[in-house]
Chains A and B, each alone.
Chain A
Amino acid sequence: MIYQALYRAYRPQAFGEMSGQQAIKQTLQNTLLHQKTTHAYLFSGPRGTGKTSAAKIFAKALNCENGPAAEPCNKCETCKSITEGSNTDVTEFDAASNSRVEEIRDIIERVHVAPSNARFKVYIIDEVHMLSNSAFNALLKTLEEPPAHVVFILATTEPHKLPLTIISRCQRFDFKPITAPEIIERMEKVIGDIGVTAETGALRAIAQAATGGMRDALSMLDQAVSFSGDELTTSDALLVTGAIGEEIFYQLAQSIQAKDAGSALSLLHELIAEGKDVGRLAEDMITFFRDMLLLGTAPELTDLLELISDGDKFQELAQEFHSDELYRYIDILSKTQQEMRFSNHGKVYIESALLKMIHSGEQRQVSTSAVDPEMAQKLAVLEQTVRQLQQQLATGAVQQAAEPQAPAKRAASTASRSAKVPTGKIVEVLKAATKSDIQVIREQWAGMMQSMQRSHAALLEETEPVAASEKAFVLKFKYEIHCLMASENATLQAGLSDALLRLTGKGYEVVYVAEESWLEVRADFIRKSGLASQKSKENPQQFEEEQPTSAFMEEASIEDADPLVTEAEKMFGKDFITIEE
């Protein structure tokens, strides 16, 4: 007799033999017993979960001569002919290779003909998602008005590809992946039948690799058994599944945890020497660490573990790793994966990844012991300064709330200079003012504002440098209160001159003045210097002073000119501008 693959020889022939899908089996059997089956079923689920098997068993149970019963007898002629696939009333239709509308029409044409020797005509349409659009429409017409003696069973791995109109016409059953213990149970029965003994680890490894598909499990078992003979060992099973034993990963994780680069590398070399592909190795390591993460975050979801099967031991190991660490490992490995794609030296990359993983932990330790206190200290100092500044600001503001209005009013009403206005200094600056100096400062102003502290910059928001000599310049404040706050704020003044020194290379003294007082002082000065220049004609000694003064006066006269032009001049400097009326 020709050898029959295990998964074919052990295809279940009754609901009782099917693994898993308890709820589905119960529902189908109940409807069979009560003869309340409907016209269309949709079995969906991953491969190897029993869709087609269930469909065939259901077809048999429906038509069994000893029925209606919850199980087919598998002895009567009808059951036998259905198992062989020779029954004319049970049509198995592979939609994957007959996807065109003509082909489905062929079988649907005969739908209205009564069954010849069974109770029901059963159509099992496998891989139904492969049907073409028009084929679906043809099928839908029949599903909408099915004759009483017809049952459709649609089976698919990809239900989302079906039109909703089809799905809503069917009673839909979602087949779930078969759990590892169920697969192991079935495999134990199979190897018992064929007279092979197996280590539990071997069966577990196969069940793990099958990821819920019984057919995959059985064909791997088939391979493993033909490879190993009468006794199936764990290592044989691992060879067949191509997986790396979780034991090795356990050791690898331990040596990473212990920062034992030597043993980690030698483990890696062992694996590579066994002929494992480095790319696959990186992927497996990611999977392993992902499983560890899963154990940490959701230990109850053992079904979703991909590499680890022995929960308890790894649970303990997972406790020893911090989740951040695991994420970092995964990160390192996936980067390595990327790099390896473009290189022939995958081994080097994976080695360095391993070392990186070991060292990444060390760096973290270093950082906690050495760098952190330093940072903390810096932070403390900064915090203190900020607090001081805030205090200064607060007290300054309080003082000004009472003070500034008084001098301001006085200045406005009596038109005399308050004691706070440093008239003398301003006049000094004005006397020595040159156009180039003020330009230098204005050019650097924006940059300076950016480099200043936020709170300081905010205070200087509404200010403008109006006149400058080589040593000092006048800073005009729009509001007197800001002027006061600035002139009392030592850190601001220090910061300002620092910034200017950095940007212009010169140390300037800053004279703070409010707009009102400034206008007065300026008007005063112009009047006086006007006199002075008149005098200078008589007095050649003062002649040299005329140049700078006039330069300043020129600016003063422009103040009243076109604001656009003034703004442009501020930006580019006067030398670069020609005004065309």
Chain B
Amino acid sequence: MVTKIWSQIEKGDVQPVYLLTGTEQHLLDETIKKLIKAVPGMTSSEVNRFDLEEIPIQAVLEVANEFPFLVDHKLIVAKNCSFLKATDQSKEKQNHQLDLLEKWLENPSPTATVVFVAPYEKLDARKKITKKIKKHAVVVEAVALQGQDISTWIMQQGKDKGIEFDKKTAEFLMEMSGTDLLTLATEVDKLAGYLAFKGAVDIDMIEQLVARTPEMDVFRLTDSFVNNKRAESIAVYHDLLRNGEEPIMLASLIASQVRLMIHVTNLRKKGYQQQQIATTLRIHPYRVKLMMQRKLPPLQVLLKALDDLATIDLQLKTTSGNRQRKLELFLMNGL
């Protein structure tokens, strides 16, 4: 897959046409970087870059067919190949002459390497042009990694930068900044900088340095609240406020979590299993699983919390005074 093609590129085996698809931006970037390295005499400033949402494909082909001027071999990156998608949603439609591209693909320029970038989840495989380009180009699929693969990837990325992650720290980093490889790569770089490019990462460092995504923080807020960790929930709440989150939004998020807990408690009493609960409530089974794993507070407590949250919501929307305080007081009270 990706690594196989990479190692070919690293060996200097550069094909005339590449097609990069998939949503994992970091893998796309890396592939292009490796290609730049592999083409002799190429630097990033000499790459011809085109945005196919701004210029038509025939212009790119023209450049590709021209004889290279200062370098031996041209590298052309044409991004946003939206004509490969099922529905083209680009704002300004370009008049791509796709038949020219088809002809060109059969006989690409020997003095240029053209990289078509289609950063979309899925291409329309029924289209004639898609079939053709897949046949003639080396296809690199940058598929988003999942769970285990990501922590392995983090460890590998760390090793490249001279620092060490273990399973726990890698997972913690993932928890803090999500699963986007591009974000993770910059976070690993940052941690490497902190450690002066040698040594092991620990949890404390990650907490200090890694920028939290608001989604993760919101999750931590509801989590610490339902686990009755008051101090933590207040601290996270203030972090979120500092990042400009709205108390109304936070209140409703906590409420939705509490509501879900009420649902789960009730359905569980009726003898529903995890999977059944997930389908009944139309939520992701993992959320149910997390909830079933721990002891839920009694129903009365949950109902009261929900009621309180409704009151807070009303207060936030009707009364003046310090808005942040109202939810804060609720969090201090705990479940």
Q: Which residues of A approach B to under 8 Å, CB–CB?
A: 23-24, 26-28, 30-31, 33-34, 36, 38, 44, 46, 112, 145, 147-148, 158-161, 167-174, 177, 283, 286-287, 290, 293-294, 297-298, 300-301, 304, 323, 327, 330, 334, 337-338, 341
- Assembled-state Cα–Cα distance A159/B322 (Å): 23
Q: Say whether A23 contacts B186, CB under 8 Å.
A: no
Q: Say whether B230 contacts A298, CB under 8 Å.
A: yes
Write 7 A-B pairs (CB below 8 A) sorted by A numbering.
A28-B193, A168-B182, A283-B322, A297-B230, A297-B332, A298-B235, A304-B235
- Assembled-state Cα–Cα distance A158/B244 (Å): 7
Chain B residues within 8 Å of A159, by CB: 211, 243-244
Chain B residues within 8 Å of A46, by CB: 242
Within 8 Å by CB of A171, from B186, B205, B320, lies B186
Given A174-B212, A283-B322, A337-B321, verify A293-B197 contact (CB < 8 Å).
no
Q: Say whether A298 contacts B234, CB under 8 Å.
A: yes
Q: Say whether A301 contacts B214, CB under 8 Å.
A: no
A177: nearest residue on chain B (CB-CB)? B242
* Chain B, 140-155, CB within 8 A of any chain A CB: none
Nearest CB in chain B: distance from A346 CB, A = 14
* Chain B, 195-238, CB within 8 A of any chain A CB: 195-197, 205, 208-209, 211-212, 214, 230-231, 234-235, 238
* Chain B, 243-265, CB within 8 A of any chain A CB: 243-245
Q: Say whether A160 contacts B245, CB under 8 Å.
A: yes
Nearest CB in chain A: distance from B227 CB, A = 14
Q: Say whether A30 contacts B193, CB under 8 Å.
A: yes
Q: Say whether A23 contacts B183, CB under 8 Å.
A: no
Given A283-B322, A304-B234, verify A160-B214 contact (CB < 8 Å).
yes
Nearest CB in chain A: distance from B218 CB, A = 12
Q: Say whether B212 contacts A34, CB under 8 Å.
A: no
Q: Does B58 contact A (CB under 8 A)?
A: no
- Assembled-state Cα–Cα distance A82/B302 (Å): 58
Q: Say whether A172 contacts B211, CB under 8 Å.
A: yes
Chain A residues within 8 Å of B49, by CB: 145
Q: Say whether B183 contacts A33, CB under 8 Å.
A: no
- As a 0/1 sequence over residues 267 to 293 of chain B, the CB contacts with chain A under 8 angstroms (1 = contact) are 000000000000000000000000000
Given A33-B196, A294-B234, verify A172-B242 contact (CB < 8 Å).
no
B242: nearest residue on chain A (CB-CB)? A46
* Chain B, 278-335, CB within 8 A of any chain A CB: 319-322, 325, 328-329, 332-334
Q: Say whether B186 contacts A168, CB under 8 Å.
A: yes
B231: nearest residue on chain A (CB-CB)? A298
A interface: dominant SS? helix
Q: Say whether B189 contacts A171, CB under 8 Å.
A: yes
Given A36-B197, A171-B186, A298-B231, verify A290-B325 contact (CB < 8 Å).
yes
Nearest CB in chain A: distance from B161 CB, A = 9
Given A172-B186, A294-B332, verify A27-B231 contact (CB < 8 Å).
no
Q: Say whether A170 contacts B45, CB under 8 Å.
A: no
7 shortest interchain CB distances as A-B pairs: A298-B231, A172-B211, A31-B193, A23-B208, A27-B194, A27-B193, A30-B196
- Assembled-state Cα–Cα distance A327/B332 (Å): 10
- Assembled-state Cα–Cα distance A294/B243 (Å): 21
Chain A residues within 8 Å of B235, by CB: 298, 301, 304
Chain A residues within 8 Å of B186, by CB: 38, 168, 170-172
Nearest CB in chain B: distance from A286 CB, A = 7
Within 8 Å by CB of A327, from B180, B322, B329, lies B329
Nearest CB in chain B: distance from A47 CB, A = 11
Chain A residues within 8 Å of B211, by CB: 44, 159, 172-174
Given A158-B244, A290-B328, A304-B234, verify A34-B197 contact (CB < 8 Å).
yes
| Residues of B within 8 A of A (CB-CB), count | 42
- Assembled-state Cα–Cα distance A168/B26 (Å): 10
Nearest CB in chain B: distance from A141 CB, A = 8
- Assembled-state Cα–Cα distance A158/B212 (Å): 14
* Chain B, 155-206, CB within 8 A of any chain A CB: 180, 182-183, 186, 189-190, 192-197, 205
Q: Does B44 contact A (CB under 8 A)?
A: yes
Q: Say whether A290 contacts B329, CB under 8 Å.
A: yes
Within 8 Å by CB of B234, from A160, A169, A301, lies A301
Q: Say whether B209 contacts A23, CB under 8 Å.
A: yes
- Assembled-state Cα–Cα distance A31/B197 (Å): 9
Q: Which residues of B approach A to under 8 Å, CB–CB?
A: 25, 44-45, 47, 49, 180, 182-183, 186, 189-190, 192-197, 205, 208-209, 211-212, 214, 230-231, 234-235, 238, 242-245, 319-322, 325, 328-329, 332-334
Q: Say whether B25 contacts A147, CB under 8 Å.
A: no
Nearest CB in chain A: distance from B198 CB, A = 10
Chain B residues within 8 Å of A327, by CB: 329, 333
Within 8 Å by CB of B334, from A297, A304, A330, lies A297
- Assembled-state Cα–Cα distance A524/B217 (Å): 81
Chain A residues within 8 Å of B230, by CB: 297-298
Q: Say whether A30 contacts B243, CB under 8 Å.
A: no
- Assembled-state Cα–Cα distance A341/B25 (Å): 54
Chain A residues within 8 Å of B195, by CB: 30
Q: Say whether A293 contacts B329, CB under 8 Å.
A: yes
- Assembled-state Cα–Cα distance A330/B328 (Å): 12
Nearest CB in chain A: distance from B317 CB, A = 14
Given A283-B322, A293-B332, verify A34-B182 contact (CB < 8 Å).
no
- Assembled-state Cα–Cα distance A441/B194 (Å): 87
Known pairs A159-B211, A168-B25, A298-B332; list 19 more (Cβ under 8 Å).
A27-B194, A112-B45, A145-B47, A158-B244, A160-B243, A168-B183, A168-B186, A169-B182, A172-B186, A174-B211, A283-B321, A298-B230, A298-B234, A298-B235, A304-B238, A323-B333, A327-B333, A337-B321, A341-B320
Within 8 Å by CB of B189, from A38, A148, A304, A337, lies A38
Q: Say whether B231 contacts A338, CB under 8 Å.
A: no
Most buried by B among A24, A46, A177: A24
B180: nearest residue on chain A (CB-CB)? A168
- Assembled-state Cα–Cα distance A171/B244 (Å): 20
Chain B residues within 8 Å of A161, by CB: 244
Chain A residues within 8 Å of B325, by CB: 286-287, 290
- Assembled-state Cα–Cα distance A465/B328 (Å): 59
- Assembled-state Cα–Cα distance A31/B334 (Å): 43
Q: Say whether B190 contacts A334, CB under 8 Å.
A: no
Q: Say whether B44 contacts A27, CB under 8 Å.
A: no
Within 8 Å by CB of A23, from B180, B205, B333, lies B205
A146: nearest residue on chain B (CB-CB)? B44
Given A283-B321, A341-B320, verify A148-B44 contact (CB < 8 Å).
yes
A141: nearest residue on chain B (CB-CB)? B51
Chain B residues within 8 Å of A294, by CB: 234, 332
Chain A residues within 8 Å of B190, by CB: 27, 171-173
- Assembled-state Cα–Cα distance A400/B230 (Å): 57
Q: Say whether A160 contacts B193, CB under 8 Å.
A: no
Nearest CB in chain A: distance from B273 CB, A = 34
Chain B residues within 8 Å of A28, by CB: 193
- Assembled-state Cα–Cα distance A323/B334 (Å): 12
- Assembled-state Cα–Cα distance A147/B43 (Å): 10
A22: nearest residue on chain B (CB-CB)? B208
Chain B residues within 8 Å of A177, by CB: 242
Chain B residues within 8 Å of A297, by CB: 230-231, 234, 332, 334
Chain A residues within 8 Å of B234, by CB: 294, 297-298, 301, 304
A282: nearest residue on chain B (CB-CB)? B321
Within 8 Å by CB of B319, from A171, A304, A330, A338, lies A338
Chain B residues within 8 Å of A31, by CB: 193
B318: nearest residue on chain A (CB-CB)? A338
Given A23-B205, A334-B321, verify A147-B45 contact (CB < 8 Å).
yes
Nearest CB in chain A: distance from B28 CB, A = 11
Nearest CB in chain B: distance from A165 CB, A = 9
Q: Say whether B231 contacts A300, CB under 8 Å.
A: yes
- Assembled-state Cα–Cα distance A24/B208 (Å): 9
